[in-house]
A and B are shown apart, each in its own frame.
Chain A
């Protein structure tokens, strides 16, 4: 079942359109930066952009920072919201259950597919933005690092290529984990309704509420528990030394969201009447 769900996702045109959109934004930004060479002031604009102008090797990190707030969670919410509700509205949910595919198994297959989509999206963004970055911005080490095997620098210290790869890899996993929080909410809503649009919009509503409250000083008391509170903590992977505190908290918080909403999704789906 898991294999057939993965095949179905890969064969679906929508998957590739959404990935193309995700990868398109960083590519467009890379072209503008490469052509004009006008960098945002340090501390302004998306993270890392000021640092990448001389060396495209760090561009994947900047690209992730660009898609993280909206593009990536939107596509995850759409895929997650479609998981069960989409089957219901295509009239296939009942036929899958009659094959029979156990309800828990179907839910697990949908979850695995969602995780696969998230990883695919993050990998696609990183890979295309690395290409776009090195093509448009070059991969010459910064002038100050000339002659060493260091590639680029953050927090004032240099990074070798291996270190950079490791840190980008860790970032990808962290962002993937963050997206699972949204995905779990979308999956839960997807078991409640037969409308995939409704489920996706519900998950987005949760996301936007969280993003508004995170910036609101008056909501300080609930901020540590908000879905998006630690999403930007991956920036700490690029500090020297790596600042683990927020990353750990972020992972724990996402874990709680995932566990709670998956349990709710399972409890609801396993006991509900399928009338679609």
Chain B
């Protein structure tokens, strides 16, 4: 669906996107993660032909962009950096205007098309009030409706749940799942890890312009070979599992073991009380924090404690994180 090769964009001296090889397959729910300012939006704008690449190649729907934009874009729906609308027109009028501006929409079917996408995003009953009177969530829904006009095969959504309440987020997630089941490929850009974790089958992580990770979600969240045990009899468990306990804090133990059920049977067999037990998987958050630097909107004062040249991270923040996550001996 999307393939880029060594895609690079420089704005003056700043390299916003640096040699990115993005690969989104047909039917994927691809989550593009990264801190603010890591180049996600610039990458998306290049995919859509809004920003021109400095070097590298882009293929969307099997055709080179931006050269074949006229063929590609009618089958792509997008929400880029927040919805846009004429504030003095109603949501319906905005959608009608967009529908009329693009190709391939006969005048006769316009009303039906507009009403269909409004229903899809839960704005079917909206009145004729101008967009300036809309709430943030309504505007977001309107932006999604605009992206769905024309029944796209590929949806590129940048922060689609921005400004929505928890119910709204849930609805949108259901909608995206539904569209994906019907064959729409989805590229979701977000800095909300939970959103990507819940929705996506494949994940890419950007950091300072580079795509530092691109993998299937199952692979990212593979078991770590550790089992998390919680037991009021932790002392006895440590004695029993001599050497296999990698970390202990209070009644929580991190045990090196391949199978949680087997470990459970053994501990219970020894008469230990187990409150919780389960294989430990790395959360997406851990993975992402591990491979990305600080967000680009954090600007530390340059007082000799400048970010480490090798990692680009601010040392103090890194230290905090390590203290919180490293298993203590």
Contact = CB atoms under 8 A, between A and B. Distances in A.
Contacts of A154: none
Given A100-B74, A102-B70, A271-B52, A91 B101 contact: no
Contacts of B98: 95-96, 99
Contacts of A95: 78, 80, 84, 98, 146
A273 B88 contact: no
Interface in A42-100: 90-100
Contacts of A93: 84
Given A90-B85, A91-B82, A99-B73, A274 B50 contact: yes
A80 B205 CA distance: 42
A4 interface: yes
Interface residues of A, number: 25
Nearest to A97: B50
Interface stretch (A7-15, A30-38, A175-183): A7-15
A222 interface: no
Given A4-B101, A100-B70, A102-B70, A273 B51 contact: yes
A11 B89 contact: yes
B84 A92 contact: yes
**B contact patch SS:** loop
Given A90-B86, A273-B51, A275-B45, A98 B101 contact: no
B102 A101 contact: yes
A140 interface: no
A1 interface: yes
A100 B73 contact: yes
A96 B93 CA distance: 14
Given A94-B80, A98-B78, A99-B98, A274 B87 contact: no
25 contacts: A4-B97, A7-B97, A11-B89, A91-B84, A92-B84, A92-B86, A94-B50, A95-B98, A96-B98, A96-B101, A97-B49, A97-B50, A98-B48, A98-B78, A99-B73, A99-B98, A99-B102, A99-B103, A100-B74, A100-B102, A101-B101, A271-B52, A273-B45, A273-B50, A274-B51
Interface of A: 1, 3-4, 7-8, 11-13, 90-102, 271, 273-275
Interface of B: 45, 48-52, 69-70, 73-74, 76, 78, 80-89, 93, 97-98, 100-103, 146
